[in-house]
């Protein structure tokens, strides 16, 4: 039960921190910030006044240590990136990217995911810590609690591959091995991700994933003692599954977005897992956004209703993308950004001129 108490306690602490600064307040010693040109953690400027916990976030920001390291070794530690501005794509709730594709160096995020279902799916809590250690390169570590017990440790690596010439699409890949702590089983997921918008400033966006997953199936039925474990007759086995996910988003206002997430882990029989649900994303300030939704879940051959709550605490970087996008120039801004044949093919398909 120690794992259960620690997972719940940390989750409640994260929720409490989020609520503490959901409404930003200007500090007396702070200067006004520049007008907004997009989400602060995606290379845009922030129009938000400093929140009351800004000093706390600055104090624990790992980017301070990395900036010092970068300066010492003569690496790029400034606020101006040579990468083009990424399109603002919505974020899914359950199966999402480590950081938004196109994210810039020094962004940090701490998240808490809560999930409860109506039938045989286990209760799920996930503690997520994400950090962008280089432009277009991010890492994450997840602790997944099933029925209150720490079961899976998952490190992530994400790499953005490029942005479309008009700034309306972006793509990359993500790799995440799953380490099952009790059984010693090793699974994981590798996916290609593609984000798209009709135009760079469109309110509508979509995100698709295609790849493979290996998971341990079974082991979530209650034991006679009522504890999490493998009950008699509950056979466990490893299974490969095809991942084919599609998420769509529509920005209703500057702070509120509507989304629909469809996650498909395709495999015949008990190993297949299918999740489809609408959700809302509320972003009250630059340091936090909240997501909630629920819908259909098929888990181990049983249909059920599932509910999600996702609390996301963000420490945005001051680093900004290039001031002029490729679309405004009509051509790549640097020789290093010249698109290769694969990106040119995607560009033609997704609307690049």
329 within domain boundaries: yes
Stretch (H or E) spanning 1: none
Indicate the length of the chain as a whole number. 353
Q: Is residue 18 part of a domain?
A: yes
Q: What is the pLDDT of residues 311-323, one digit of tens each?
A: 999 988 889 998 6
Q: Which residues share a beta bridge with 178?
A: 187
* Residue appearing with tokens 């920005």: 251
Pairing of strands 137-146, 149-163: antiparallel
Residue 227 lies in a domain: no
Q: Of 267, 247, 266, which Cα lies nearest the Cα of 257? A: 247
CA distances from 282 to 50, 293, 337 (A): 18, 12, 34
CATH of the domain at 75: 2.40.160.40
- pTM for this predicted structure: 0.79
Range of the domain at 149: 2-222+233-350
Determine the Cα–Cα distance for residues 37 and 46; give it in Å rounded to an integer: 7
- Position 293 in a domain: yes
Q: What is the token pair recorded at 172?
A: 């990359």
pLDDT attached to residue 3: 47
pLDDT, tens digit (0-9, with 9 covering 90-100), for 151-208: 999 999 999 999 999 999 999 999 999 999 999 999 999 999 999 999 999 999 999 9
CA–CA distances in Å: residue 213 to residues 66, 265, 266, 274, 305: 33, 8, 9, 13, 23
Total structural domains within the chain: 1
Q: Which residues of 323-334 are buried (b: 16+ CB within 10 A; e: fewer)?
A: eebbbeeeeebe
DSSP 234: -
Under a CB-based contact definition with an 8 Å cutoff, are residues 140 and 98 in contact?
A: yes
Looking at the domain assignment, is residue 238 inside a domain?
yes
228 occurs within a structural domain: no
Q: Per-residue pLDDT tens for 86-143? A: 999 999 999 999 999 999 999 999 999 999 999 999 999 999 999 999 999 999 999 9
Q: Is 125:150 a contact under the CB 8 Å cutoff?
A: no
């Amino acid at each position: 039960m120690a794992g259960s108490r620690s997972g719940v306690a940390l989750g409640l602490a994260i929720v409490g921190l989020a609520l503490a600064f959901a409404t930003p307040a200007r500090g007396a010693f702070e200067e006004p910030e520049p007008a907004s040109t997009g989400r602060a953690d995606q290379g845009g400027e922030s129009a938000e006044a400093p929140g009351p916990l800004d000093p706390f976030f600055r104090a624990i920001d790992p980017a301070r240590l990395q900036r010092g390291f970068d300066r010492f070794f003569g690496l790029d530690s400034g606020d101006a990136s040579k990468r083009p501005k990424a399109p603002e794509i919505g974020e899914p709730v359950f199966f999402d990217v480590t950081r938004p594709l196109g994210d810039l160096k020094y962004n940090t995020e701490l998240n808490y995911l809560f999930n409860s279902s109506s039938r045989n799916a286990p209760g799920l809590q996930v503690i997520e810590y994400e950090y962008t250690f280089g432009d277009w390169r991010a890492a994450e570590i997840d602790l997944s609690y099933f029925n209150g017990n720490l079961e899976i440790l998952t490190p992530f690596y994400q790499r953005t591959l490029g942005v479309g010439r008009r700034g309306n699409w972006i793509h990359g890949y993500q790799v995440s091995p799953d380490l099952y702590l009790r059984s010693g089983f090793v699974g994981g997921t590798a996916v290609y991700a593609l984000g798209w918008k009709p135009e760079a400033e469109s309110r509508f966006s979509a995100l698709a994933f295609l790849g493979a997953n290996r998971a341990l199936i079974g082991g979530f039925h209650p034991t006679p003692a009522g504890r999490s474990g493998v009950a008699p007759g509950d056979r466990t086995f490893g299974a490969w599954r095809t991942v084919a996910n599609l998420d769509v988003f529509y920005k209703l206002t500057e702070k509120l977005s509507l989304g629909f997430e469809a996650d498909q882990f395709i495999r015949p029989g008990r190993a297949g897992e299918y999740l489809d649900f609408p959700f809302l994303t509320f972003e009250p300030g630059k340091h936090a956004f909240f997501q909630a939704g629920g819908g259909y879940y098929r888990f181990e051959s049983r249909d059920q209703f599932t509910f999600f709550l996702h609390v996301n605490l963000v420490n945005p970087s001051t680093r900004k993308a290039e001031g002029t996008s490729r679309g405004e120039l009509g051509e790549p801004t640097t020789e290093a950004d010249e698109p290769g044949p694969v990106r040119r093919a995607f560009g033609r398909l997704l609307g690049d001129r």
